[in-house]
Structure 1
């Protein structure tokens, strides 16, 4: 598991044209870094869920993927957002 943002930046691969490449290579590097950060954020949020919430997350993600026609990654983000919002509202009661 990734432990720091610096490690994430170190894991980003250089673009097609290398460090001195054109805008497309720089954009590729940036998008890859964002993707790695999103994966890291999703891991952290998932680890904070209880076992019951993890089961709900898996169920909701499957529903969004197969019935909603979303990609697995998008379905997981939607399900994670639903569970996190539910948890937030329940803690505020």
Structure 2
């Protein structure tokens, strides 16, 4: 299978900080999604990107298919941002 590496693997932060998460892909990906699993276990789809940058309030995400990575930035972190963040990627079709 294709390899996805998320960094940092764990992150503790303080309110008001602006952390970033990054996913690196071993091959070119068609799209990427970022998810948040909140402390109650609910899964929230934050972003779907085929390329470029998207922003939603204090969150923004960038996906660079050529360079095989995506980032998620949280501005002015708040307690309600707590949870587990992860990315999922869709591989390009190989013919």
TM-score above 0.5, yes or no: no
- What's the TM-score, normalizing by structure 2? 0.24
Q: Which has the larger radius of gyration?
A: 1
Q: Where is the strand percentage greater, Structure 1 or Structure 2?
A: 2
Structure showing greater relative contact order (alpha-carbon pairs closer than 8 Å, 6 or more residues apart):
2
